[in-house]
Amino acid sequence: MVDRSLVGRTLPATAPYQVGRQKITEFALAIGEGDSVCLDVDAARAAGHPDVVAPPTFTIAFVLPAIESFLRDPEVGWDYAHMVHAEQAITLHRPVHAGDELATTIHVDDLRTRAGSHMLTLRCEVADGHGAPVATCKAVLVTKADEA
Amino acid sequence: MSASAGPETAKGDELAPTSVRVSRADLVRYAGASGDFNPIHWSDRVAGEVGLPGVIAHGMLTMALAGRFVSAWAGGPAAVRGLGVRFTRPVVVPDDGTGATIELSGTVSGVDESDAGRVATVAVTAKFDGRTVLGRATAEVLLPS
């Protein structure tokens, strides 16, 4: 049984995720992104960035684990094993780059139940070490509803 | 056809279509890079148990490929300020040494002024086996001035 009182709740911010240069490079190569600003710090600096730039979907690689640890909490009552990622939106308020320390705050925006499925909307606000907004990631997740 | 984003970018411009091949090795590599080790992306046994026709690509990998397609047109990943998709159909990746081919195309659906500069909205189409795998896929691109 999903805890419906979660809707409207804001979870505590995660410990900061440290964006590493090699992690960005590894991620870029895994998606076939060959732009030198992702791979070479000198090229990134020459283009006016403080360090190598993360591809836009890199943010989800550290946001999803935060979502997972929330939804695997038995108190939440979410069937994680049958979960499907239905929608994802990413808004970058600025590019993410190596050296960033990014904390994620999950907001439970919506929960709908119909035709045997729960549809949960989570808005994850990502902020840097100064508290400035860096990204807003909205995920819509679907799983089986156990209640009648 | 628009080779790259620029000051002249306007509604109706089309991005040069491309196709990307995704193999099992690519899925393993993406799993490691992203930390998403869900076995439906590498184990035929588990994929079969949950009713899938076979191992499927991570939705986030398909989204990343759409992002890369837009980034190449935009002049780099830093210009891509927004990306949104619905995951409508799985991309089945067979263990046959070839993998799956995803066809990407895109059209500029609008150009607006923002505080940061001119922003183009790009409607992206991603197809596998002739059918759309991302629904309502859009990207926001900060245009060079």
CATH number, domain at A72?
A: 3.10.129.10
Rounded mean pLDDT of chain A? 95
Q: Which residues numbered 47-76 in A keep a CB inside 8 Å of some CB on B?
A: 47, 49, 53-57, 60-61, 64-65
Note whether residue A110 is domain-resident: yes
Question: CA distances (Å), B119 to each of A15, A31, B6, B145, in order?
Answer: 33, 24, 11, 10
Q: What angle do CA A17, A68, A10 make, to 5 degrees?
A: 75
Residue B114: CB atoms within 10 Å: 10
Topology at the third CATH level for domain B14-21+58-142: Thiol Ester Dehydrase; Chain A (3.10.129)
Note whether residue A93 is domain-resident: yes
Could you report the predicted ipTM of this complex, rounded to two decimals?
0.95
The DSSP bridge pattern shows strands A133-144 and A84-92 to be: antiparallel
Note whether residue A8 is domain-resident: yes
Note whether residue A119 is domain-resident: yes
Alpha-carbon Rg for chain A, nearest whole angstrom, is: 17
Note whether residue A41 is domain-resident: no
Instruction: Please answer yes or no on whether A87 and B85 come within 8 Å at the CB atom.
Output: yes
Structural domain boundaries in chain B: 14-21+58-142
Segment B57-98, tens digit of pLDDT: 999 999 999 999 999 999 999 999 999 999 999 999 999 989
Note whether residue A125 is domain-resident: yes
- Containing structural domain, residue A84: 4-19+56-144
Segment B5-50, tens digit of pLDDT: 999 999 999 999 999 999 999 999 999 999 999 999 999 999 999 8
Alpha-carbon Rg for chain B, nearest whole angstrom, is: 16
Domain count across chain A: 1
**How buried is B128 (Cβ within 10 angstroms: 0-12 exposed, 13-18 middle, 19+ buried)?**
buried
Residue B88: CB atoms within 10 Å: 16
Question: CA distances (Å), B112 to each of A129, A135, B83, B118, B125, in order?
Answer: 31, 20, 16, 6, 21
A84, A85, A91, best to mutate vs chain B, most B CBs in 10 Å = A85
